[in-house]
Amino acid sequence: MPNPFHIAFPVDDLAAAREFYGGLLACPEGRSSDTWIDFDLYGHQIVAHYKAPVESADDAAHSNAVDGHDVPVPHFGVVLDWDQWQQLAERLKANKVEFVIEPYVRFEGETGEQATMFFLDPAGNALEFKAFKDMSQLFAK
């Protein structure tokens, strides 16, 4: 695996983050405190930091059109192998997760063909999980 990434993101409820990332997504928990929790997201370190909710115009959701869908910006996630992606999609469906973009194959038959899905964590952070049958397509033009 290439070097793991680290990302920190705000959540407004650490218990909900623990249940979502540690429970539903099955991410092992690392270090934690009263204000943050480390999780192992497929070998990458993600950190949920508590931030009190703020209602302002700056918090408005933004999206960009990609392959006929409104992709939420910002977002983060992981590129999984094909079977892992399928298993995660089935687990999320079985747990009745509401998708921003339902699991599907994007750019089918084209350069960059990939399986993708988008959903939100309890704090409203957008997550994308994707997979390529051919990993050489990850950065293909």
| Share above pLDDT 90 across residues of the chain, in percent, rounded to a whole number | 72
pLDDT value of residue 25: 97
The whole-model pTM stands at 0.85
Which of the two residues, 87 and 66, has the higher pLDDT score?
87
The whole-number pLDDT of residue 73 equals 84
pLDDT of 59 > 60? The answer is: no
- Tell me what pLDDT residue 138 has: 87
* Predicted confidence (pLDDT) at residue 56 exceeds the cutoff of 70: no
DSSP label of 93: H
Query: Which CATH superfamily hosts domain 6-53+63-137?
Result: 2,3-Dihydroxybiphenyl 1,2-Dioxygenase, domain 1 (3.10.180.10)
* Residues 38 and 46: beta-carbon distance below 8 Å: yes
Give φ, ψ of 8 to 5 degrees. Answer: -115, 140
Banded pLDDT at 1 (limits 50, 70, 90): low
Average pLDDT, the chain: 91
Domain layout of the chain by residue ranges: 6-53+63-137
In this structure, the dihedral spanned by the alpha carbons of residues 118, 60, 13 and 88, taken in order and rounded to 10 degrees, is 0
